Structure 1
Amino acid sequence: MPLTKVTRNYQITIPAEIRKALGIKEGEVLEVKLEDGRIIIERPKKERKTLKLGKKISPEEIEKSIEEGMKECLQ
């Protein structure tokens, strides 16, 4: 069983053999939760929305997207 260490910033590295087995890529978002005293790390059930690049986005549009995303997370 591979081991990992908690850094001073409370970060951990997922061991390479686990990343490869699960196909975890750099930049991927994972959900972290606590169940029965265990840390569970998994892919979120819902796909996160992304903003398409190629056009200028106003601060108001960014705020609106953040609010919509937060509402979806609470459902």
Structure 2
Amino acid sequence: MIEETKITRNYQITIPATIRKKLGLKVGDTLIVKLEGDRIILEPKRRSITEIRIRLGRKVDWRYVEETIREVIEKG
């Protein structure tokens, strides 16, 4: 996916809506900025499982989540 954006006078950019939606970015999320050669790479900072647990509280069966993650990792 390729999108275009402009740099404002304050050196800010807007992340296009299609990309925000695809990555699930929300106001207040943190991005990691990397420089690779002459390319600027933006990546969402992923939350730790502990942060996610606190945020979701008891709404999730964590045993199921952790079991599913283990299965995916094992299948590689």
Shorter-chain TM-score range: 0.5 to 0.7
- Aligned CA RMSD, in angstroms, stands at 1.9
Whole-Å Cα distance in 1 between the matches of residues 23 and 39 of structure 2?
Answer: 19
Structure-to-structure mapping, 1:39-54, within 5 angstroms: 39-44=40-45, 47=48
Tell me the SS of whatever aligns to 1:28: coil
Q: Which runs of 4+ in 1 moved over 6 A?
A: none
TM-score, with structure 2 as normaliser: 0.55
AA matched with 1:7 = T
Q: Which ranges of structure 2 fall in alignment gaps of 5 or more residues?
A: 52-76
Identical pairs, percent: 58
- Identify the residue that residue 67 of structure 1 maps to in structure 2: none
Residues 17-60 of structure 1: CA deviation (Å, up to 9, x unaligned): 0000110111101111101210000123675x8xxxxxxxxxxx
Number of aligned pairs? Answer: 48
Whole-Å Cα distance in 1 between the matches of residues 13 and 19 of structure 2?
Answer: 13
Whole-Å Cα distance in 2 between the matches of residues 19 and 27 of structure 1?
Answer: 12
Using a 3 Å threshold, how does the CA distance of structure 1 residues 4 and 25 change in structure 2: closer, same or farther?
A: same
Q: Which ranges of structure 1 fall in alignment gaps of 5 or more residues?
A: 50-75
- Identify the residue that residue 36 of structure 1 maps to in structure 2: 37
Using a 3 Å threshold, how does the CA distance of structure 1 residues 21 and 40 change in structure 2: closer, same or farther?
A: same
TM-score, with structure 1 as normaliser: 0.56
Structure in which a larger fraction of residues adopt helix? 2
